[in-house]
Structure 1
Amino acid sequence: MADQLQVDIVTPDGRAFEGEARGVKAPGIKGSFEVLRNHAPMIAAFGIGQLVVKTQDAYEDLTISDGRIEFATSGGFLEVLDNRVIVLAETVEPASDIDTERAEAAEQRALQRLRESTSPDEREEAQEALDRARNRLRVSMGGV
């Protein structure tokens, strides 16, 4: 369609999404941002948060809610050029694939690690693990 973007979401494990979309919303390092058709060329870093692909199309194995495919991500880079969005993510997981019980267990393990950490590096690693687990929980429950 004329008002669509071509979107590719890629991780070290492979392609997580490829298709057309009306927009992409990402958790930017300095705040969320959205890319729509005819966006200026850019490269941006994003962090732990919710990545949303806005589409009306059906994609096999992906749950679409209100025209949105929601992913939990742990960060990466997003490039926009000529109505094509390429997302290079450390990890990305569709909301429909997130095991809530497993994410809750990861949250509890991260909280325990945070309580037991003795060095700044250990605390930072535990906090990042906690942030990732909580993000997965929020995304799995449809929250932001």
Structure 2
Amino acid sequence: MSSVAELAISLLILLGGAFALIGSWGLVRLPSLMTRLHGATKATTLGVGGCLIGSMIYFPASGASWTAHELLVTLFLFITAPVSANMIAKAHLHRQRCRLDADAADGIKEELPEPSADTGWATFWTPEPAEKQDSSAIPRR
């Protein structure tokens, strides 16, 4: 195995381990679920991804046959981590919304922004009723 391959493998595994360590530290130390979720998904994607890419380089460089297992696991991880983080975030926001609705009887309710309000991202977007939609905007075949 060449020293360039050994250096690349070592750097990828160390980088993956560092991202996993920083992400797990963020998971413990960050204050809210949304910020913890950010730390956990970065640790999973970049930490495990770096180790898997290092593994993909190691086995062919050491003379073993190349397999697609590491590549498939990496692709699966890169696809599922953002989707699962999005679903957890939506469930958290839904839970907060239900808690606010339950507190409304006590007069403590804080209003959530309207879906059309410029708040940064559109979770809980509700489409307009059919009678308000412009029929010319709907593509026809």
Q: Which has the higher strand share?
A: 1
| Relative contact order, higher structure (CA 8 A, sep 6+) | 1
The answer to whether TM tops 0.5 is no
* Length-normalised TM-score, structure 1: 0.30
